[in-house]
């Protein structure tokens, strides 16, 4: 049985449709990340699940119960917010116990739960302090603790790490993953950061304009994006695209680009019947091989280096190919300079082909 089930969810504000006939099944203990750029409806969906926004249509079930019209506190959820949303006038202990007091839970039981959450999150020394006296990372720990004491079935995270600086964000990300492993709750996590999504998620739902574009494991989303939007969104630096024509000749398929032809000998088509049509070819910068490996690729070509961006761990090289500058990722010790000639190799096995019109994967 799934832990959270969203059925035909609609949400509109006036004439604006924010969520459109959205369906989503989340398994028990799953870590699901809702990923998308701002305004895609991911936070709104999370707020609907929490009961903080009234839906216009459809149903939300949590742990097998229809909670579409229940109060947020009755849904068996805990929630962590981007701005921490700690009650400034209460101590850390007060923040953790506020929800339990509202449930009229006996005092000794509250103390027990607070102590346990504080232990898990290692915030025991902070219990008597007020949020104002805490650092950003400590505040976010307390915010997670507030969800933890509720012993909820489902945890909702609304961009919980966005307000932290880069180093702390990485640390807390790892801690969150460990926490999930320990607690085994269902977690729904909203973010616009693809690194967080890729590292944390069991499955990622990529959203755009109130619709889920693709729902799959991180590796499938990265390797086999459903459409051009997903392909472009995931991956940094992002994918190179070429406009061209697909043609099937004597059983073998080729992509005819602006001034190259890539034989798609090892490309796995989703649809078996591919006629001649306009299409997009997508190649990730890290999937373009250079040097000796290029010779063994489906297509190899000499290109002129335009710009070199050393990034430490690897080097991003802009070369001219197919009539435009494209990104190629090479190793960090590259001594390439603008004007040099670089041999690159394109492999059909790791490419993505999208229909030109629908932009869906072929």
Partner 1 sequence: MTDQSVIEPSGSKPSKRFSRGNIILYGTLIVVSMYYLLPLYVMIVTSLKGMPEIRLGNVFAPPIEITFEPWVRAWAEACTGINCDGLSRGFWNSVNILIPSVVLSIAIASVNGYALAHWKFKGSETFFTILIIGAFIPYQTMLYPIVILLREIGLMGDLAGLVLVHTVFGMPILTLLFRNYFTSIPEELFKAARVDGAGFWGIYFRIMLPMALPIFVVAIILQVTGIWNDFLFGVIYTKPETYPMTVQLNNIVNSVQGVKEYNVNMAATLLTGLVPLIIYFISGKLFVRGIAAGAVKG
Partner 2 sequence: MTTTSQDDARAARRPIRLFRNPMAKIASIPMILTALVVFVGGTAWTVVYSFTDSRLLPRLNFVGLDQYERLWSTRRWLISIENLAIYGICSLILTLLIGFTLAAMLDRKIRGEAVFRSIFLYPFALSFVVTGLAWQWILNPDFGLQEVVRRMGWEGFTFDPLNNPDIVMFGLLIAGLWQGTGLIMCIMLAGLRGIDEDIWKAAKVDGIGTVKTYVRIIIPMMRPVFITALVLIASGIIKLYDLVVAQTNGGPGIASEVPAKYVINYMFRAQNLGQGFAASTMMLVSVIIILVPWAYLEFGGKKRD
Site of interaction with partner 2 (CB under 8 A): 54, 59, 61, 64-70
Q: Which of 185, 321, 305, 328 is nearest to 257 (CA)?
A: 321
Helix, strand, coil % over all residues of the chain, rounded to 5: 30, 35, 35
H helical segments located in 51-106: 92-102
The upper half-sphere exposure of residue 105, i.e. CA atoms within 13 Å in the direction of its Cβ, equals 18
Strand partners, 361: 354
146 binds, among partner 1, partner 2, none (CB under 5 to 8 A by kind): partner 1
Please report how close the Cβ of residue 126 comes to partner 1 at its closest, in angstroms.
18
Which residues have CB under 8 Å from 106's CB, separation 6+?
Answer: none
Please report how close the Cβ of residue 66 comes to partner 2 at its closest, in angstroms.
4
Please report how close the Cβ of residue 270 comes to partner 1 at its closest, in angstroms.
41
103 binds, among partner 1, partner 2, none (CB under 5 to 8 A by kind): partner 1
98 binds, among partner 1, partner 2, none (CB under 5 to 8 A by kind): partner 1
Radius of gyration of the chain measured on its C-alpha atoms? 25
306 binds, among partner 2, partner 1, none (CB under 5 to 8 A by kind): none
158 binds, among partner 2, partner 1, none (CB under 5 to 8 A by kind): partner 1
Hey, CA dihedral for 311, 313, 317, 322, is it positive or negative?
A: negative
52 binds, among partner 1, partner 2, none (CB under 5 to 8 A by kind): partner 1
Q: Tell me how far apart the alpha carbons of residues 295 and 230 are, in angstroms, rounded to a whole number.
A: 30
Task: Kindly report the number of other CB atoms within 10 A of residue 149's CB atom.
Answer: 23
* Burial tier of 199 (Cβ tally within 10 Å: 0-12, 13-18, 19+): middle
- Closer to partner 1 by Cβ: residue 47 or 315: 47
Contact 26, 5 (CB under 8 A): yes
Please report how close the Cβ of residue 9 comes to partner 2 at its closest, in angstroms.
13
68 binds, among partner 2, partner 1, none (CB under 5 to 8 A by kind): partner 2
Contact 44, 215 (CB under 8 A): no
Please report how close the Cβ of residue 68 comes to partner 2 at its closest, in angstroms.
5
- Closer to partner 1 by Cβ: residue 8 or 89: 89
Please report how close the Cβ of residue 203 comes to partner 2 at its closest, in angstroms.
25
Please report how close the Cβ of residue 104 comes to partner 1 at its closest, in angstroms.
10
- Closer to partner 2 by Cβ: residue 13 or 69: 69
- Interface residues with partner 1 (CB under 8 A)? 47, 50-52, 71-74, 77-79, 81-83, 85-89, 98-99, 102-103, 146, 158
- Closer to partner 2 by Cβ: residue 62 or 172: 62
Contact 150, 119 (CB under 8 A): no
């Amino acid at each position: 049985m799934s832990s959270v089930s969203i059925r035909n969810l609609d949400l509109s504000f006036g004439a604006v449709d924010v969520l459109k006939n959205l369906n989503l099944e989340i398994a028990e203990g799953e870590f699901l990340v809702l990923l998308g750029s701002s305004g895609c409806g991911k936070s709104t969906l999370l707020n609907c699940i929490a009961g903080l926004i009234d839906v216009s249509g459809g149903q939300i079930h949590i742990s097998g119960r229809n909670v579409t019209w229940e109060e947020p506190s009755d849904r068996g959820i805990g929630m962590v917010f981007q701005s921490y949303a700690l009650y400034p006038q209460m101590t850390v202990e007060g923040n953790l116990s506020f929800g339990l007091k509202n449930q009229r839970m006996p005092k000794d039981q509250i103390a027990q739960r607070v102590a346990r959450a504080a232990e898990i999150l290692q915030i025991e020394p902070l219990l008597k302090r007020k949020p104002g006296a805490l650092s950003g990372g400590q505040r976010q720990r307390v915010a997670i603790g507030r969800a933890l004491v509720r012993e909820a079935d489902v945890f909702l995270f609304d961009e919980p790490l966005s307000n932290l600086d880069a180093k702390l964000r990485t640390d807390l990300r790892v801690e969150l993953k460990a926490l999930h492993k320990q607690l085994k709750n269902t977690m729904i996590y909203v973010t616009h950061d693809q690194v967080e999504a890729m590292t944390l998620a069991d499955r990622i739902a990529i959203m755009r304009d109130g619709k889920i574009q693709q729902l799959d494991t991180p590796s499938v989303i990265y390797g086999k994006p459903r459409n051009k939007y997903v392909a472009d969104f995931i991956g940094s630096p992002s994918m190179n695209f070429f406009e061209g024509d697909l043609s099937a000749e004597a059983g073998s398929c080729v992509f005819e680009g602006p001034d190259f032809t890539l034989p798609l000998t090892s490309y796995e088509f989703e649809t078996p019947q591919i006629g001649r049509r306009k299409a997009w070819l997508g190649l990730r910068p890290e999937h373009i091989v250079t040097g000796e490996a290029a010779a063994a690729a489906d297509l190899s070509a000499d290109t002129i280096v335009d710009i070199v961006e050393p990034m430490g761990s690897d080097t991003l090289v802009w070369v001219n190919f197919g009539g435009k500058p494209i990104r190629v990722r090479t190793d960090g010790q590259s001594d390439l300079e603008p004007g040099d000639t670089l041999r690159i190799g394109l492999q059909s096995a790791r490419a993505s082909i999208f229909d030109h019109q629908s932009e869906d994967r072929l």
